[in-house]
Amino acid sequence: MTVDRPYDIVLFGATGFTGALTAEYLAGHAYPGTRWALAGRHHLRLVEVRDRAAAVNPLCAELPLLHADTADTPSIEEMARAARVVITTVGPYAQHGEPLVAACARAGTDYVDLTGEPTFVDRMYLKYHEEAVRSGARIVHACGFDSIPADLGAYFTVKQLPEGVPLRVEGFLRVQGEASGGTLHSAIGIFADVIGMVSAERKRQKAEGRPSGRRVRIARRPFPKTRIGDGWTLPLPSIDPQIVARSAAALDRYGPDFSYGHYMAVRRLVSAVGLTAAAGTLLALAQVPPARSLLLRLRSPGEGPSAERRARNWFSLTFTGEGGARRVTTEIAGGDPGYTETAKMLGESALCLVHDDLPETSGQVTTAAAMGDALIDRLVKAGLTFRILDSD
């Protein structure tokens, strides 16, 4: 990849809630000498974010500010050509994401986002994967809470199991937090276009094919084969299983026959019933345009909770893995998932692509395939927990 560019990292969407948190994170954790810049539509708001970054690190007072707008294709292309890696927090990605993916694929620029929108990811694969392979760009979607804990957690679990044997992994999420405005808008967009999501997935499967001589499956059963403690489990309809499956298809270490199931774990039956009802209600309302408009007004993209509220939030994702007569239980855990930890994961993903010795990959790739152990090491140093709870 071309390295003779003005910036190592450009953060696009820096004036949004998560974008500003990511700017503060980079201010405190980017290596000395890392050349980075802030980008967005509104210069004065970028100045405000730069001031917040400078409060963390006075050297950031001179951060370059770039004008870029998804409605202005030349500005997006100029930004992509100027950077080694572009981080984007500008969503919903189905509405605003494609111009930057296209520009990065053409320019050979690495790209990271925090999308959880499967239709967007599949359509970007169909349109730009081959071009990114030719240019050397690494297009890495889902570098936040969607889907780093699931992707790297499954990868970490697989590495504790024997090689060359069939493996089964299941993930169980417990969380205290709240959805961001951007997440709400993305979720409503997904629910409103279920047919499009299924169509894009099938087209991708046809174009992508299956790994040669191996089988990779998503377990879609309503209940897991294994249990973790007391309580109730529900299938978790997120992008996470697809991302894990794509890592498994890309890496032989997942064995000749790999399956993954993804679940929400709750302690009380009333919580399980409430979550199921809420998901069903959101799906139904998203089909009706007036109701969908009302839902979109509940919270605007860019809004988020206070630092005090975020400090009370947490997540843990427990994995059970089986294969070759061995069983292991692992866990990834961290703080506020939707904002604080997402900004950390996004920032460390970009820094990893810039600074670390990584496998040769290109095209649309996952965090496990593109960064794997290097990104786990970074996240552990940044405060996330990866640990083995039990093995036999």
Say if residue 2's pLDDT is above 60: no
- pLDDT given at position 182: 65
DSSP 8-state symbol, 193: T
Least confident of 45-49, 71-75, 234-238, 293-297: 293-297
pLDDT by residue (tens digit) across 163-173?
A: 999 999 999 99
Q: Which helix (H) or strand (E) holds 207?
A: helix 194-208
Among residues 269, 263, 262, which one has the least CA distance to residue 231? 269
CA distances from 338 to 184, 282, 345, 354 (A): 11, 19, 11, 24
Cα–Cα distance for residue pair 67/95, rounded to 1 Å:
19
Mean pLDDT of the chain: 91
pLDDT by residue (tens digit) across 182-228?
A: 666 666 777 667 788 889 999 999 999 889 999 999 998 888 888 77
CB 19 within 8 A of CB 97: no
Q: How many helices (H) and strands (E) does the chain have?
A: 16, 14
pLDDT by residue (tens digit) across 78-123?
A: 999 999 999 999 988 999 999 999 999 999 999 999 999 999 999 9
Rounded to two decimals, the pTM is 0.92
